[in-house]
Amino acid sequence: MSGKEVFYQGNEACAEGALYAGCRFFGGYPITPSTEVAEFLSRRLPKVGGAFIQMEDEIAAMASIIGASLVGKKSLTATSGPGMSLKLENIGFACITEVPCVIVNVMRGGPSTGLPTGPGQSDVMQAKWGTHGDHPAIALAPASVQEIFDETVRAFNISERLRTPVILLTDEIIGHMREKIVIPEEGELEIWDRPRPECPPEEYLPYDISKGIVPPMADFGSGYRYHVTGLNHDASGFPTNKPSLVQPEEERLMAKVTENLDILEKYEHFTKDGAKIGVVAYGSSARSTKAAIQQAQEEGIPVDFVRPITLWPYPVKPTIEMGEKVDYIVVPEMNLGQMIDEVQRCIEGRAKVVGVNRVDGDPITPENILEKIREVA
Amino acid sequence: MSIAKALKEETIVSENSEKDGRKITITPRYCKGCEICVKLCPESVLEIKDFKIHVARIDDCTACMLCELRCPDFAIEVDGKAKKGKSS
Amino acid sequence: MAFNYDEYMRPGKLPHIWCPGCAHGIVMKSIIRAIDRVGLEKDRTVIVSGIGCASRMPGYVDFNTLHTTHGRSLPFATGVKMADPSLNVICVAGDGDALAIGGNHFIHSCRRNIDITMIVFNNNVYGMTGGQFSPTTPHGKLASTTPYGNPDYAFDVVELSMGAGATYVSRGTVYHAVPLERQIADGITHKGLSVIDALCTCPTTYGRRNKLGSATDMIMWFKDNTVGIKAAEKLSPEEMEGKILTGVFRKDIKPEYCEEYQKIIEMAQGA
């Protein structure tokens, strides 16, 4: 891959990826360990004619990016656990109003103030269920600094294509570590934009699904005047509580995910001959997993590995495949057991599932995972 | 063209007997019977009947347009040139 | 007609949801006339609201309209304005929305002096949810959550706005609908954060609970109990007892946020 080689911190790579994807608005608030994303963009966005604002709180930051997106700007916010909890209401607003935006959660130890400078992976269920109501949930979990760059670009693309918020889950380890990455040349990576209307303004319906389940989205100020509300609404954008309109609307929002698995699903699935043990791991825990599996191989224990990169929607297929092959699935997470429930749910008892769980602020080490592998071998 | 006319809402138009252009148009569907216009009309032109406003004394109307200004519901419109009234 | 609202109304939305006698319709009409007076282009005007009775206003009018979450009209509007500073951005919200849950955004938007016009439909109550007390419910008044009388004291929206740094601050009433219209027009034209404290009424919850009479009585109360700033200068403290001041309290020219940010863009691109 051609491009510029740089030695970047994960948070910087995220900000750089956002700019590459066309992000021209950032609304944020300082919170460890995500603040570098904001600081980087405060320097770079005005250089490209974009806008950066540090708002008065996390809720305002989330609101501001939705407002900017409605005017046609690709927009980003970045935070950690406590800020994510504050943003949830407005994330739901973006879901039901179908406004593209990307929310980065650099996960830290939780709950509450928790461990501001320690890594965690305990916000993964929050990424799916956090905001109230039924809503489409899309979350990506990169595991390296390069992958943070790539997945940020992908997050924007998905968000624009499907007109829905996308959460990027990193953590304090990969957010703060430095690795060499390559920033691709302009045009090397595909950039997707939201569908915009082709009809004349008088005929425009902001939630018109006659051409597909993602309606074309007009920019505020471009001549298409319409109403946006967080109330359940009809195709014209106006509130409705008619059962015959509300049910299909809600189902359509969820269908954006279920009918687009081809562009959403992304994972790695490594298999070894004769493996009777498998590991499912994501984010920084996946890094330790790779080392553990290598070591296990040397000890004569072949281990399969599924690494979800898109965490939500969860990669069901490779997990079931693994469940059909192995006797034990090990799920290392820097939480007390969250994605493990999803693994259990998928495989429906085909294999036994055990967790490796740390919430002490230190990363799960390859040795932690290896111990469990040896135990179940 | 007024909202009522644009949407072809049913309206009740009262013209004064001098036919000098002074008239009041009421859109009953919009009227909620709040009586703000009735009570604030300086000439007591309007009255409430069956929770809707009616024009009782069109010839007293001076086209001050205060009823139109203060109707929260777009239910009343006044046309015509203002003139001095009995109360002034 | 004194004014033809037809051009600015979305067809088929009337009658609106506000109660009989609710004065919100009078404020809405004043806003429309103000927009017309200033000559704003509909395509380039965005009206943002929060949640509550006042916040239902944008749905009725033919602009780019955004009905957001409770208390958050100003930060959404800030994103809109910063994304395209050439848009005309107006926020409408009730007293509870703007000053309780929205309080933080209110004071920071004032401080930031971003070019947004904030019209507070101030009827001293949370109307839509059945009449709970709000930050502008006077001490001792009854509400559904202050059945023994309000132990709290009220914000003075004008003082709060000025203290927080808003550069155009005014107060009008639905009785004085034409001066209100002029203040809104002034606020829209003003480059900076404008706050118009629009005193209006909730006869259904606040009025009935506190035995304030009919919808019309509540509007007439403004006539008898408010005094313009200039007129007040000639009155004695005894005469001013219990009276509310109306008029334009501040009209300052100070650097506006988007203009300041534009300087940053130029600096960043020049360096």
pLDDT tens per residue, range C67-117: 999 999 999 999 999 999 999 999 999 999 999 999 999 999 999 999 999
Tokens of A28: 């944020």
C50 in any annotated domain? yes
CB contact under 8 A, B70 and C219: yes
Cβ–Cβ under 8 Å, residues A97 and A128: no
Domain count across chain C:
1
- Chains A, C: CB contacts within 8 A come to 136
CB contact under 8 A, C9 and B35: no
| Whole-number pLDDT of residue B87 | 66
User: Considering chain C, what percentage of its residues have pLDDT values greater than 70?
Assistant: 100
C124 in any annotated domain? yes
Look at residue A183 and give its three-state secondary structure.
strand
CA-only gyration radius of chain C, Å:
18
* Distance to chain A for C41, nearest Cα, Å: 10
Q: Do A291 and A257 share a structural domain?
A: no
| CATH number, residue A131 | 3.40.50.970
Instruction: Annotate A322-359 with b (16+ C-beta within 10 A) or e (fewer).
Output: bbebbebbbbbbbbeebbbebbbebbeebbebbbbbbb
At residue B7, does pLDDT exceed 90?
Answer: no
At residue B36, does pLDDT exceed 60?
Answer: yes
Convert the pLDDT of each residue in C160-170 to its tens digit: 999 999 999 99
User: Considering chain A, what percentage of its residues have pLDDT values greater than 70?
Assistant: 100
| Whole-number pLDDT of residue C131 | 97
DSSP characters over A301-321: --EEEEEESEEES--HHHHHH
| Whole-number pLDDT of residue C180 | 98
Instruction: Annotate C92-125 with b (16+ C-beta within 10 A) or e (fewer).
Output: bbbbbbbbbbbbbbbbbbbebbbbbbbbbbbbbb
Query: What's the one-letter identity of residue A204?
Result: Y
Q: Does C38 touch chain B (CB under 8 A)?
A: no
Convert the pLDDT of each residue in A12-69 to its tens digit: 999 999 999 999 999 999 999 999 999 999 999 999 999 999 999 999 999 999 999 9
Average pLDDT over residues B40-67: 95
Look at residue A325 and give its three-state secondary structure.
helix
Helix axis angle for A145-162 and A10-21, nearest 10°, is: 30
CB contact under 8 A, C1 and B78: yes
CB contact under 8 A, C25 and B72: yes
Average pLDDT over residues B46-60: 95
At residue A97, does pLDDT exceed 90?
Answer: yes
| Whole-number pLDDT of residue A111 | 94
Residue entry with tokens 């760059």 = A149
CB contact under 8 A, C66 and A228: yes
- Chains B, C: CB contacts within 8 A come to 82
Q: How far apart are CA A15 and CA A3, in angstroms?
A: 17
Nearest to B32 among C5, C11, C20 (CB): C20
| Nearest alpha-carbon partner for A167 in A270, A76, A262, A97 | A76
Q: How far apart are CA C192 and CA C200, in angstroms?
A: 24
Average pLDDT over residues C253-267: 98
Domain regions of chain B by residue span: 3-79
Confidence of residue C132 (pLDDT cuts 50, 70, 90): very high
Out of A236, A264, A292, pick the residue that ends a domain. Answer: A264
Q: Does A133 touch chain C (CB under 8 A)?
A: no
Q: Do A231 and A99 share a structural domain?
A: yes
Q: Do A302 and A196 share a structural domain?
A: no
CB contact under 8 A, B69 and C21: no
Q: Does B79 touch chain C (CB under 8 A)?
A: yes
| Nearest alpha-carbon partner for C61 in C98, C109, C105, C24 | C24
As a whole number, the mean pLDDT across chain B is 91
- Residue A371: partners with Cβ closer than 8 Å, 6 or more residues away: none
C4 in any annotated domain? no
| Whole-number pLDDT of residue A110 | 85
Average pLDDT over residues A278-303: 97
Q: Does A70 touch chain C (CB under 8 A)?
A: yes
Q: How far apart are CA C255 and CA C224, in angstroms?
A: 38
Q: Do A162 and A219 share a structural domain?
A: yes
| Whole-number pLDDT of residue B88 | 57
- For residue A85, count other CB atoms closer than 10 A to its CB: 17
Q: Does B44 touch chain C (CB under 8 A)?
A: no
| Whole-number pLDDT of residue C240 | 94
User: Considering chain C, what percentage of its residues have pLDDT values greater than 90?
Assistant: 99
C170 in any annotated domain? yes
CB contact under 8 A, C77 and A239: no
At residue A245, does pLDDT exceed 80?
Answer: yes
| Whole-number pLDDT of residue B1 | 53
- For residue C33, count other CB atoms closer than 10 A to its CB: 22
Cβ–Cβ under 8 Å, residues C184 and C34: yes
Q: How far apart are CA C77 and CA C90, in angstroms?
A: 8
Tokens of C8: 């600015």
Which 3-state string (H, E, C) describes chain C? CCCCCHHHECCCCCCCCCCCCCCHHHHHHHHHHHHHHHCCCHHHEEEEECCCCHHHHHHHECCEEEECCCCCHHHHHHHHHHHCCCCEEEEEEEHHHHHHHCHHHHHHHHHHCCCCEEEEEECCCECCCCCECCCCCCCCCCECCECCCCCCCCCCHHHHHHHHCCCEEEEEECCCHHHHHHHHHHHHHCCCCEEEEEECCCHHHHHHHCCCCCHHHHHHHHHHHEEEHHHHCCCCHHHHCCCEEEEEEEECCCCCHHHHHHHHHHHHHHC
Which residues partner with C118 through β-bridges? Answer: C91, C195
Q: Do A203 and A322 share a structural domain?
A: no
Convert the pLDDT of each residue in C33-73 to its tens digit: 999 999 999 999 999 999 999 999 999 999 999 999 999 99
At residue C256, does pLDDT exceed 80?
Answer: yes
Average pLDDT over residues A110-124: 94
Q: What is the ipTM of this complex?
A: 0.96
| Whole-number pLDDT of residue A154 | 98
Q: How far apart are CA A146 and CA A16, in angstroms?
A: 11
Q: Does A157 touch chain C (CB under 8 A)?
A: no
C7 in any annotated domain? no
Convert the pLDDT of each residue in A305-317 to its tens digit: 999 999 999 999 9
Out of A264, A290, A309, pick the residue that ends a domain. Answer: A264
Convert the pLDDT of each residue in A317-363 to its tens digit: 999 999 999 999 999 999 999 999 999 999 999 999 999 999 999 99
Q: B59: which DSSP letter? A: G
* Residue B77: closest C-alpha in chain C: C1
Residue entry with tokens 């203290």 = C163
Instruction: Annotate C42-77 with b (16+ C-beta within 10 A) or e (fewer).
Output: ebbbbbbbbbbbbbbbbbbbbbbbbbbbbbbbbbbb
Domain count across chain A:
2
Confidence of residue C126 (pLDDT cuts 50, 70, 90): very high
Q: How far apart are CA B14 and CA B60, in angstroms?
A: 12
Out of A264, A287, A316, pick the residue that ends a domain. Answer: A264
- Residue C141: partners with Cβ closer than 8 Å, 6 or more residues away: C124, C133, C149, C150, C206, C210
Cβ–Cβ under 8 Å, residues C115 and C89: yes
Domain extent at residue A364 = 268-376
Cβ–Cβ under 8 Å, residues A373 and A326: no
pTM: 0.96
CB contact under 8 A, C174 and B70: yes
Report CA-CA distances (Å) from A292 to A112, A119, A304, A369, A371: 31, 19, 11, 6, 9
CB contact under 8 A, B68 and C9: no
Q: Does B21 touch chain C (CB under 8 A)?
A: no
Confidence of residue B72 (pLDDT cuts 50, 70, 90): very high
Q: Do A69 and A83 share a structural domain?
A: yes
**Do chains B and A have 3 or more beta-carbon pairs under 8 angstroms?**
no
Q: A109: which DSSP letter? A: E
Q: How far apart are CA B53 and CA B38, in angstroms?
A: 8
Tokens of B67: 């009823």
Domain extent at residue C91 = 12-270
The conformational region for residue A12 under phi > 0 = left, psi -120 to 50 = alpha, else beta, is alpha
Average pLDDT over residues B64-73: 96
C137 in any annotated domain? yes
Instruction: State the sign of the Cα–Cα–Cα–Cα dihedral C27, C29, C33, C35.
Output: positive
Tokens of A172: 């304090």
Q: Do A280 and A182 share a structural domain?
A: no
Chain A residues with beta carbon closer than 8 angstroms to that of C68:
63, 66, 93, 230
The hierarchical CATH code for the domain B3-79 is 3.30.70.20
CB contact under 8 A, C79 and A65: yes
C5 in any annotated domain? no
CA atoms within 13 A on the CB side of C111: 10
- Indicate the Cα dihedral angle C105, C110, C116, C119, nearest 10°: 80
| CATH number, residue C247 | 3.40.50.970
